[in-house]
């Protein structure tokens, strides 16, 4: 992967030297002509100027860190940061950080030295982690602005120096307008300068390779947080990029766990194209908004790496692969630029340099921590989901971890993460059913808008600019969406719902598998989104059923709403009262069940049965108890059976080429112990045709 990046970088590196000419007595030292016709001399001078700027920035940063360290040392933060800053591949796991953060700190969990990323060339390694301290004196998030790492007193000076450097780069660009290397630095430094407007103008005026110019444009838009425009530019970049380069650029191997990464590396470029498209489709955090923020972020990371890698060293870090720059590149590929990088001083640097020297590895000082804010999400699903997207369940994605109070926690670390502008949380349980219609399928889904983070914002609503609480209650705009392929998203339904309420939505989908996503955005300027996503493989519609075939829909658990919901007249409208979960509390033992049969007409004689069977595994003690007749078998099923037509049952029939019958029943599960159960519905016609469907519910205490 990193090799791929270095190959990409190759096009931006200095071209071959001009023919040597002997100067004085130094025959083997080749002097480059510095005339106007030679961009090499220009680049050489620019390199020196950029390096001097880098040095000045590093000095300012070191001074900034020294100024901060006085406070950090006093509360032991330096000790806590030490294993992360001087990250060592051969450190035994038990020697790594497991200290609890002091009680005065708002973080409640211990920090662990998470999976380190080691260079393939040297013993240099990086140990990314969450922010070790929730507040850092006089520092801003440097993933948003590089100069955030400097204390304010230094920022103005660095700004002036960078301005001078930009003037020099601009002059060079007039002489060498097609030089992508110069265009890259002009764009990068303008962004670092906080001037994204000028950066955009610079990227637009780029006359280098089309793909690189598009990459710079996309990167600038991405830094402006304009994901839609960034995506457009990056799509153009991919379109014009040479295929071999694109294959390397699009490599997602580093975002995968080790085993999957190995598998991915064996896949050829052609197959990867399709796999990558599916990968990013599934990683799209929010289907309802245009563009794929995660995909954009990944390309922005790639461009950033190339920009930083254009010289062997940036303001702080050594990007040369021989000095361990590949580890840095992997860090940025997987996690983006850190929010804060703590430096523990020259002494710590010397110790780490000696450690590296003891392993014949070059020094790469300064050594820092790589700390990330907790507001990151891991939107990439399990590899199994990438291979078979429509088998995905609600747990195929693990977005982030939080505690019961809705606060983000530090006791997890994914293979990759990224920061969205709005917090994204995963909704829990969901109930979904598919009902057959003539040429389509009715997809009905219900979910409860419950999550500790939602509870948190309801309790402590964000107020935007002022401190006045919002006058209107917080609501969520909820959408039911399906996606059957990358870049194809259909919106089925949209409702406004209150936090904590159950939201039932339905819409028509075509035959064929799809990914379903229920996405809820908080109103009132609260930066909170919630989602749940899973695959569905709907049955064939009525017009595709075989002659004489019978079938049943998924049974739907209906919320009786303390008797307010009348289910005596079966109808599709009952789907509006679907329960938003299939975990039933102690007071929810009385439920309604709605289902449909297909291919059975009102005059057909059919035997219907409902069987409820425990789905819990039996413990050894229970099995022993059952053997000696002192314990009951919880898996013993309860069954109710009846035959129709029956005038007393309110079955409703929609006649047609394939008749549809709608049925309801009220179930009282209060006699059942808390446990998971399977509710199975079976229909058997007199001529022996059988259809079965089932729903799993969990009875909780």
Partner 1 sequence: MTLRMRVLRVCGLLSALCIALPLSAQRPVRRRPSDPPPTSRADSLKADLDRKAEKIELERANKRTAADSVGGGAVVEKDRVVFTLVRPKIRSLLATERSTGHYVWRVDVTTGEPMSFVVTTDTAVSGDNLSRILRASHFRRCDDPLNISALRCAGAMSGSARISDNELRLESRDTAIVAHLRKFRPAMGMHHTFEPHGRFYSDQFHIVYR
Q: Is residue 425 a contact partner of residue 453, using CB atoms and an 8 Å limit?
A: yes
Tell me whether the omega of the peptide bond preceding residue 645 falls within 30 degrees of 0, making it cis.
yes
Residue closer to partner 1 (CB basis): 17 or 485? 17
Tokens of 679: 């509710």
Could you say whether residue 228 binds partner 1 (CB under 8 A)? Answer: no
- Min. distance of Cβ 218 from partner 1 in angstroms? 24
Q: How far is CA 320 from CA 105, 212, 311, 325, 333, in A?
A: 38, 21, 8, 5, 16
Residue closer to partner 1 (CB basis): 352 or 614? 352
DSSP at 698: E
Could you say whether residue 43 binds partner 1 (CB under 8 A)? Answer: yes
Stretch that binds partner 1, among 50-58, 527-535, 599-607, 613-621 (CB under 8 A): 50-58
Could you say whether residue 363 binds partner 1 (CB under 8 A)? Answer: yes
Residue closer to partner 1 (CB basis): 320 or 517? 320
Residues 11-40 that bind partner 1 (CB under 8 A): 14, 17, 20, 23-26, 28-34, 40
- Min. distance of Cβ 107 from partner 1 in angstroms? 33
Number of residues lying near partner 1 (CB under 8 A): 42
Q: Which residue stretches of 336-479 are H helix?
A: 346-358, 383-387, 452-459
Exposed / middle / buried, residue 532 (Cβ in 10 Å: 0-12, 13-18, 19+): buried
DSSP secondary structure string for all residues of 231-268 = HHHHHHHHHHS-HHHHHHHT--GGGS-HHHHHHHHTS-
Measured CA to CA, the distance from residue 272 to residue 275 in angstroms comes to 5
Could you say whether residue 10 binds partner 1 (CB under 8 A)? Answer: no
What H or E segment, with its residue span, contains residue 202?
A: helix 196-204
Could you say whether residue 159 binds partner 1 (CB under 8 A)? Answer: no
Could you say whether residue 312 binds partner 1 (CB under 8 A)? Answer: yes
Residue closer to partner 1 (CB basis): 32 or 612? 32
Residue closer to partner 1 (CB basis): 113 or 313? 313
Could you say whether residue 299 binds partner 1 (CB under 8 A)? Answer: no
Could you say whether residue 100 binds partner 1 (CB under 8 A)? Answer: no
DSSP secondary structure string for all residues of 365-406 = PSPB-EEE-S-EE-----HHHHHSGGG--GGG-----B-TTS
Exposed / middle / buried, residue 433 (Cβ in 10 Å: 0-12, 13-18, 19+): buried
What is the rounded (10 degree) CA torsion for 185, 57, 301, 327?
120
Q: Which of 157, 245, 261, 322 binds partner 1 (CB under 8 A)?
A: 322
Phi then psi for 216, rounded to 5 degrees? -65, -40
Site string for partner 1, 341-360 (x = CB under 8 A): -----xx--x------x---
Q: Which of 50, 107, 237, 329 binds partner 1 (CB under 8 A)?
A: 50
Residue closer to partner 1 (CB basis): 45 or 204? 45
Residue closer to partner 1 (CB basis): 49 or 501? 49
Could you say whether residue 577 binds partner 1 (CB under 8 A)? Answer: no
Stretch that binds partner 1, among 131-139, 311-319, 559-567, 605-613 (CB under 8 A): 311-319
DSSP at 676: E
Could you say whether residue 48 binds partner 1 (CB under 8 A)? Answer: yes
Could you say whether residue 382 binds partner 1 (CB under 8 A)? Answer: no
Binding interface with partner 1 (CB under 8 A): 14, 17, 20, 23-26, 28-34, 40-41, 43-45, 47-52, 54-55, 58, 310-313, 318, 320, 322-323, 346-347, 350, 357, 362-363
């Amino acid at each position: 992967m990193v090799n791929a990046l270095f190959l990409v970088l190759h096009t931006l590196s200095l071209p071959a030297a001009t023919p040597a000419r002997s100067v004085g007595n130094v025959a083997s030292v080749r002097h480059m002509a510095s005339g106007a016709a030679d961009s090499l001399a220009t680049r050489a001078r620019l390199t020196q100027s950029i390096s001097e700027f880098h040095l000045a920035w590093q000095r300012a940063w070191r001074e900034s860190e020294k100024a901060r360290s006085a406070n950090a040392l006093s509360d032991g933060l330096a000790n806590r940061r030490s294993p992360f800053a001087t990250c060592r591949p051969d450190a035994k796991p038990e020697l790594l950080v497991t200290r609890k953060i002091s009680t005065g700190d708002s973080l409640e969990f211990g920090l662990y030295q998470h999976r380190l990323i080691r260079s393939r060339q040297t013993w240099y390694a990086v140990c990314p982690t969450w922010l070790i301290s929730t507040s850092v004196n006089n520092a801003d998030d440097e993933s948003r602005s590089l100069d955030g790492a400097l204390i304010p007193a230094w920022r103005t000076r660095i700004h002036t120096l960078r301005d001078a450097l930009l003037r020099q780069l601009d002059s060079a660009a007039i002489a060498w307008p097609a030089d992508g290397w110069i265009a890259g630095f002009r764009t990068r430094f303008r962004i670092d300068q906080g001037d994204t407007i000028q950066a955009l103008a610079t990227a637009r005026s780029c006359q280098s390779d089309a793909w690189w110019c598009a990459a710079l444009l996309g990167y600038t838009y991405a830094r402006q947080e304009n994901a839609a425009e960034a995506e457009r530019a990056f799509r153009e970049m991919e379109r014009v990029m040479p295929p071999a380069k694109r294959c390397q650029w699009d490599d997602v191997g580093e975002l995968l766990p080790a085993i999957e990464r190995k598998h991915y590396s064996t896949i050829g470029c052609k197959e990867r194209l399709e796999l990558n498209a599916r990968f990013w489709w599934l990683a799209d955090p929010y289907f309802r908004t245009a563009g794929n923020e995660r995909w954009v972020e990944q390309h922005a990371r790639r461009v950033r790496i190339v920009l930083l890698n254009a010289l062997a060293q940036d303001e702080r870090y050594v990007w040369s692969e021989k000095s361990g720059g590949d580890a840095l590149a992997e860090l940025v590929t997987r996690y983006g630029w850190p929010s804060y990088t703590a430096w523990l001083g020259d002494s710590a640097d010397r110790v780490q340099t000696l450690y590296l020297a003891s392993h014949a590895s070059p020094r790469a000082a300064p050594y820092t921590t790589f700390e990330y804010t907790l507001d990151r999400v891991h939107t990439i699903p399990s590899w199994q989901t990438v291979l078979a997207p429509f088998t995905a369940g609600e747990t195929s994605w693990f977005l982030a971890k939080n505690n019961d109070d809705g606060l983000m926690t530090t006791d997890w670390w994914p293979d990759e993460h990224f920061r969205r502008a709005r917090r994204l949380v995963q909704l829990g349980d969901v109930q979904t059913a598919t009902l057959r219609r003539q040429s389509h399928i009715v997809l009905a889904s219900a979910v409860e808008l419950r999550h500790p983070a939602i509870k948190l914002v309801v309790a402590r609503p964000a107020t935007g600019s002022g401190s006045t609480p919002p006058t209107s209650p917080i609501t969520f705009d909820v959408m039911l969406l399906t996606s059957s392929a990358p870049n194809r998203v259909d919106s089925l339904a949209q409702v406004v719902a209150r936090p904590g309420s159950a939201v039932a939505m339905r819409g028509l989908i075509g035959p064929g598998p799809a990914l379903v996503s229920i996405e809820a955005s908080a109103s009132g300027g609260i930066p909170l989104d919630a989602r749940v996503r899973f695959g569905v493989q709907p049955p064939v519609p009525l017009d595709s059923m075989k002659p004489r075939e019978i079938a049943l829909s998924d049974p739907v658990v209906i919320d009786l709403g303390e008797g307010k919901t009348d289910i005596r007249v079966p109808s599709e409208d009952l789907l509006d009262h679907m329960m938003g979960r299939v975990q039933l509390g102690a007071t929810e033992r009385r439920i309604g069940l709605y289902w449909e049969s297909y291919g059975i007409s009102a005059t057909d004689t059919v035997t219907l049965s409902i069987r409820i069977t425990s789905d819990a595994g039996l413990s050894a003690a229970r099995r022993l108890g059952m053997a000696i007749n002192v314990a009951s078998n919880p898996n013993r099923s309860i069954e109710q059976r009846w035959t129709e037509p029956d005038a007393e049952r309110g079955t409703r029939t929609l006649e047609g080429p394939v008749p549809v019958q709608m049925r309801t029943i009220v179930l009282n599960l209060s006699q059942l112990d808390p446990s998971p159960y399977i509710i199975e519905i079976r229909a058997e016609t007199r001529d022996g045709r059988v259809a079965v469907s089932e729903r799993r519910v969990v009875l909780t205490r």
